[in-house]
Amino acid sequence: MEEIYAKFVSQKISKTRWRPLPPGSLQTAETFATGSWDNEENYISLWSIGDFGNLDSDGGFEGDHQLLCSIRHHGDVMDLQFFDQERIVAASSTGCVTVFLHHPNNQTLSINQQWTTAHYHTGPGSPSYSSAACTGVVCNNPEIVTVGEDGRINLFRADHKEAVRTIDNADSSTLHAVTFLRTPEILTVNSIGQLKIWDFRQQGNEPSQILSLTGDRVPLHCVDRHPNQQHVVATGGQDGMLSIWDVRQGTMPVSLLKAHEAEMWEVHFHPSNPDHLFTCSEDGSLWHWDASTDVPEKSSLFHQGGRSSTFLSHSISNQANVHQSVISSWLSTDPAKDRIEITSLLPSRSLSVNSLDVLGPCLVCGTDAEAIYVTRHLFS
Amino acid sequence: MEELDGEPTVTLIPGVNSKKNQMCFDWGPGEMLVCETSFNKKEKSEMVPSCPFIYIIRKDVDVYSQILRKLFNESHGIFLGLQRIDEELTGKSRKSQLVRVSKNYRSVIRACMEEMHQVAIAAKDPANGRQFSSQVSILSAMELIWNLCEILFIEVAPAGPLLLHLLDWVRLHVCEVDSLSADVLGSENPSKHDSFWNLPGNTQTLTELELKWQHWHEECERYLQDSTFATSPHLESLLKIMLGDEAALLEQKELLSNWYHFLVTRLLYSNPTVKPIDLHYYAQSSLDLFLGGESSPEPLDNILLAAFEFDIHQVIKECSIALSNWWFVAHLTDLLDHCKLLQSHNLYFGSNMREFLLLEYASGLFAHPSLWQLGVDYFDYCPELGRVSLELHIERIPLNTEQKALKVLRICEQRQMTEQVRSICKILAMRAVRNNRLGSALSWSIRAKDAAFATLVSDRFLRDYCERGCFSDLDLIDNLGPAMMLSDRLTFLGKYREFHRMYGEKRFADAASLLLSLMTSRIAPRSFWMTLLTDALPLLEQKQVIFSAEQTYELMRCLEDLTSRRPVHGESDTEQLQDDDIETTKVEMLRLSLARNLARAIIREGSLEGS
């Protein structure tokens, strides 16, 4: 990994997301959105990393990311997702879910739609109305699913004023994150260490499956599904542990990997290279997990100019190039074959890295030190 | 009583007529609350004060500046790097590292200055533009002072290179110096001039330098005395300048923008191998000559003068007064402390100056809704009062989302602040219980290892069960795992649920022994015993005998235990009678069932033994 550019942006970044590319496009990622938190005024901003050949008015140079536009957001930005090319969905700590629309011709953002009482502890009808933070949002055009601290799951549809489906009290603890498994199924993680699968085709308010860790009920904070194999799911926990699950088999994780020293805030499979996984944590580090087995052999004291790498298993390095088997390399539990190379991507430890996103060869992440890091050469 | 360093500034509160009514105030960590009272100075007090607002007064507005935030964040990283510099490094390598740190700080200040300058130019509102411009000049002054401190205190340049550094310093900060050097270079002896200053630093010793310069100086004097350039007054004045003649230099006052420019120019021509300890003499006289009695020195001038006099404490003190934010003095003092330049100058409350300034700066950060996270690291490096300050501040951070609470808890846990962890978790758990999020409440009590709260949550579950006849949140109770051991009540809850499950799965023998063990092991609360015994009824009434004779005796003993020690409630007579009625019916039914079961059990056990 060569150049990683840092820019201080005067706001603590809670979420960063690449704008998705049009299908079939050959371009690389160019635009990303960020959300801030913990300010008196929080903002959703759009940034561009397009090539600026000359110095622009800001004195930035090529590779530096520039602010395109931003809009005020009420409450902390708890989660952010691109709904499509122009629309961004944001989850707020006030329990409100907002869809923002980007106007590329005059570079502005505006509010397209809003569900202000998506999440609450006591409802808007009662005198003691108390809102609850919306902690996670996931989109699958035209559906939007949100979860929150009130243990509620909402299914919205763009341009519908009311929620299409609401599961009240889906969980007695806080739901931290949600992801789609197959289209009518979603998977949520909560603060007592459980994964729950919900099927929207069923009418009841019960999950169709519950998986949990044995041992301590460590809260799970993030979840991501393998892009190609829809039964493989990765979760990150409060103790920094990365777990890989196979939801078809059993109720326990397939592998547990000791990773960070503090809460893991986000885990992402690379969308086009799913043998690569990225995690970021409260301990200020961002790790790149490489489980691909078609790399040339390296010695165990591998150093690549400035970044540190560690190997996970004790396999001897006289292994021939293993032909990539159909089973995902994440699920294989054979210690002799298992080799995961872990690389720390940030140059120095900072405050918490709250969010990351990967698209193609580009990675963006945001920290509590009010900095955004971008690299366009992940796999160099 | 200490004397005041300067006159206090007066701030008028809008809307409050301070001539008529009195105001009241209270101090906060970084701010002050002020409001108008009903008390009147002369007349009788009025019913309602005319101004209904409470005002917050902040001295430190810099913390809210968007651009300065970048300064705070970047310097935080540099500060941490400095603290982690290996203590064992000594000598040249340590010095070069410290100089690098100093240059990093300065480049951050300059980057901020640049950005603010751009914003000032682009500002549409002239008042805003002026405000930004004044910020730029403050930052510029800060960089000027820091640079000088770096040269004199950190780099500790000896005589010879000292003047080169000072030249660079002036050149960096004063644009007009270029025009003067153009003049000088256009003189008759440029080559001698150039080669003289071609110092690699190592190859010539100070004495060689001095000799060379002496020689050159004498040559110039000879030219002057021989009136070689008498025909051209311009060249003659140039010669005088090169000889360091003060009067000649002062004639070019418009080209010299300030006294320190004058000072360095003067030193360049009169004493280029000046030693650091002689600097202050030249500095004072330069200041006096330049101002010429027309104007009095400004705060910046005093600070620079104190620096030339190597009076670090005075520099810091003057900067503290002149600047509105503790950022500059805190970081500079910390760096100088790492250079081992500050004696432990004990202040009234025992901590030294570096720690005092860092504490002030960090407290200021905590007053900001967002920058408190930076403050934590600063407190970490204050050995005496840092931890205590952090403990007090961290409990008062408002926690509006669980994610923020988790970050605060992580900070506390990393520093083994168990008291704060417990108190924060308790607040969050209580909030969760009030919102009926029992799973969250349990999750917080597990994190804090708070057995008492776990008991509270379990009691809530049990109460819900008694009221509704079924369990809420089965997903939680069924999956408690090892957390069940946190409190007895929680264990009971888990086991009780297990009993229900076993009953549902028709594993009656297991369910029966579990039920019995719940009562005999005393983890069931007494209030629940009746419910448990009532739960035993269907088991007693089954066709097959489930409870053995031994077990039945145990159950009967429990029942007697319960009925004999029933406490007297202070209820009304009719209610008491009604309750008693229900209770006696229940007890009678139980007694009957137990007796029948006992009979069947004895027979069955007797028969088995027989056959």
pLDDT for residue B132 is more than 50:
yes
DSSP state of B21: E
Q: Which residues in chain B have Cβ-Cβ distances shorter than 8 Å to A219?
A: 443
Please report whether residue A235 resides in a domain.
yes
Please report whether residue A70 resides in a domain.
yes
pLDDT at residue B175, rounded to an integer: 52
**Which chain B residue lies closest to A37 (C-alpha atoms)?**
B370
pLDDT at residue B197, rounded to an integer: 47
DSSP-based helix, strand, coil % in chain B, nearest 5:
65, 5, 30
Pick from A110-124, A242-256, A317-331, B410-424: least confident: A317-331
A43-50 average pLDDT score? 91
Q: Helix (H) and strand (E) counts for chain B?
A: 27, 3
Q: Which of B32-46, B119-133, B416-430 has the highest mean pLDDT?
A: B416-430
In B190-294, where does DSSP find H-type helix? 190-196, 206-225, 233-242, 246-251, 259-270, 279-291
pLDDT at residue A14, rounded to an integer: 96
**Which chain B residue lies closest to A221 (C-alpha atoms)?**
B403
pLDDT for residue B544 is more than 70:
yes
Please report whether residue A191 resides in a domain.
yes
User: Each residue of B310-327: pLDDT tens digit?
Assistant: 888 889 989 988 888 899
Pick from A127-141, B70-84, B196-210, B428-442: least confident: B196-210
pLDDT at residue B373, rounded to an integer: 94
Pick from A68-72, B256-260, B494-498: least confident: B256-260
Number of domains chain A contains: 1
A312-327 average pLDDT score? 33
Please report whether residue A313 resides in a domain.
no
pLDDT for residue B177 is more than 60:
no
pLDDT for residue A111 is more than 90:
yes
pLDDT at residue A232, rounded to an integer: 92
Nearest to A10 among B69, B369, B373 (CB): B69
pLDDT over 70 percentage in chain B: 86
How far is residue A110's CA from residue A101's CA, in Å, rounded to a whole number? 5
A277-290 average pLDDT score? 94
User: Each residue of A217-241: pLDDT tens digit?
Assistant: 889 999 999 999 889 999 999 999 9
User: Each residue of B134-167: pLDDT tens digit?
Assistant: 889 899 999 999 999 999 998 887 777 888 888 8
User: Each residue of B182-209: pLDDT tens digit?
Assistant: 444 444 343 344 444 444 444 556 777 7
B439 to chain A, closest Cα gap in Å: 4
Q: Which residues in chain A have Cβ-Cβ distances shorter than 8 Å to B402?
A: 133, 135, 149, 174, 191
Query: SS3 letters for A30-90?
Result: CEEEEEECCCCCEEEEEEECCCCCCCCCCCCCCCCCEEEEEEEECCCEEEEEECCCCEEEE
Among B431, B437, B474, pick the best mutation site for testing chain A contact (most A Cβ within 10 A). Answer: B437
User: Each residue of B336-355: pLDDT tens digit?
Assistant: 988 888 765 555 554 588 89
pLDDT at residue A334, rounded to an integer: 53
B220-232 average pLDDT score? 75
Query: SS3 letters for B304-356?
Result: HHHHHCCCHHHHHHHHHHHCCCCHHHHHHHHHHHHCCCCCCCCCCCCCCHHHH
Please report whether residue A26 resides in a domain.
yes
**Which chain B residue lies closest to A133 (C-alpha atoms)?**
B401
pLDDT at residue A276, rounded to an integer: 93
pLDDT at residue A36, rounded to an integer: 95
User: Each residue of A188-219: pLDDT tens digit?
Assistant: 999 988 999 999 998 888 899 888 887 778 89
Domain enclosing residue A71, as ranges: 5-292+330-375
Q: Which two structure tokens, joined as six digits, stand for B500?
A: 């229900």
> Taking chain A, what is the end-to-end CA distance rounded to the nearest angstrom?
6
- Residue A174: pLDDT band (50, 70, 90) is very high
- Residue B222: pLDDT band (50, 70, 90) is confident
Residues 188-247 of B with CB under 8 A from A: none
Please report whether residue A50 resides in a domain.
yes
Pick from A55-64, A284-293, B164-173: least confident: A55-64
Question: A45 forms bridges with which residues in the sheet?
Answer: A34, A70
What 3-state class would DSSP assign to B485?
Answer: helix
How far is residue A11's CA from residue B371's CA, in Å, rounded to a whole number? 9
Q: Which two structure tokens, joined as six digits, stand for A177?
A: 């994150």
Better-predicted residue by pLDDT, B546 or B196: B546
Pick from A375-379, B118-122, B250-254, B526-530: least confident: B250-254
Please report whether residue A318 resides in a domain.
no
CATH at residue A357: 2.130.10.10
Supply φ then ψ for residue A221, to 5 degrees.
Answer: -110, -25
Please check whether residue A329 is in contact with residue A277, taking contact to mean a CB–CB distance below 8 angstroms: no
* CB-based contact A196 B404, cutoff 8 Å: no
Q: Which residues in chain A have Cβ-Cβ distances shorter than 8 Å to B81?
A: 348
* CB-based contact A93 B442, cutoff 8 Å: no
pLDDT at residue A325, rounded to an integer: 35
- Residue B272: pLDDT band (50, 70, 90) is confident
A349-363 average pLDDT score? 92
User: Each residue of B63-78: pLDDT tens digit?
Assistant: 778 889 999 999 999 9
pLDDT at residue B430, rounded to an integer: 92
User: Each residue of B549-606: pLDDT tens digit?
Assistant: 888 888 888 888 888 865 555 444 555 556 677 778 888 888 888 888 888 888 888 8
Q: Write down the mean pLDDT value for chain B.
A: 81
Q: Write down the mean pLDDT value for chain A.
A: 83
B378-396 average pLDDT score? 93
HSE-CB for A321 with a 13 A CA cutoff: 4
pLDDT at residue B586, rounded to an integer: 83
What 3-state class would DSSP assign to A184?
Answer: coil
B231-252 average pLDDT score? 73
A123 to chain B, closest Cα gap in Å: 11
B473 touches A: beta carbon within 8 Å: yes
- Residue B82: pLDDT band (50, 70, 90) is very high
* CB-based contact B476 A121, cutoff 8 Å: no
- Residue A53: pLDDT band (50, 70, 90) is very low
How far is residue B428's CA from residue B440's CA, in Å, rounded to a whole number? 9
pTM: 0.84
Please report whether residue A34 resides in a domain.
yes
B267-288 average pLDDT score? 85
User: Each residue of B458-487: pLDDT tens digit?
Assistant: 888 888 888 887 777 777 777 777 778 888
Nearest to B410 among A12, A130, A262 (CB): A262
- Residue A320: pLDDT band (50, 70, 90) is very low
pLDDT at residue B608, rounded to an integer: 66
* CB-based contact A191 B439, cutoff 8 Å: yes
The secondary element (H helix, E strand) that includes residue B140 is: helix B126-149
Better-predicted residue by pLDDT, B414 or B123: B414
Q: Which residues in chain B have Cβ-Cβ distances shorter than 8 Å to A262?
A: 410, 414
Q: What count of other Cβ atoms lies within 10 Å of the Cβ of residue B505?
A: 10
pLDDT for residue A83 is more than 80:
yes
Q: Which two structure tokens, joined as six digits, stand for B166?
A: 């000072």
pLDDT for residue B220 is more than 50:
yes
Residues 117-146 of B with CB under 8 A from A: 118, 122
User: Could you tell me where the beta strands, DSSP code E, fall in A194-340?
Assistant: 194-199, 209-212, 220-225, 232-237, 241-246, 255-258, 264-269, 276-281, 286-290, 309-311
Q: What count of other Cβ atoms lies within 10 Å of the Cβ of residue B181?
A: 14
User: Each residue of B98-123: pLDDT tens digit?
Assistant: 999 999 999 999 999 999 998 888 88
Determine the Cα angle at A220 with ends A215 and A224, to 5°.
Answer: 125
* CB-based contact B437 A173, cutoff 8 Å: yes
A174 to chain B, closest Cα gap in Å: 6
Q: Which of A244-258, B312-326, B383-397 has the highest mean pLDDT?
A: B383-397
pLDDT at residue B216, rounded to an integer: 79
Please check whether residue B76 is in contact with residue B334, taking contact to mean a CB–CB distance below 8 angstroms: no
Q: Which of A73-77, A304-308, B282-286 has the highest mean pLDDT?
A: A73-77
pLDDT for residue B330 is more than 70:
yes
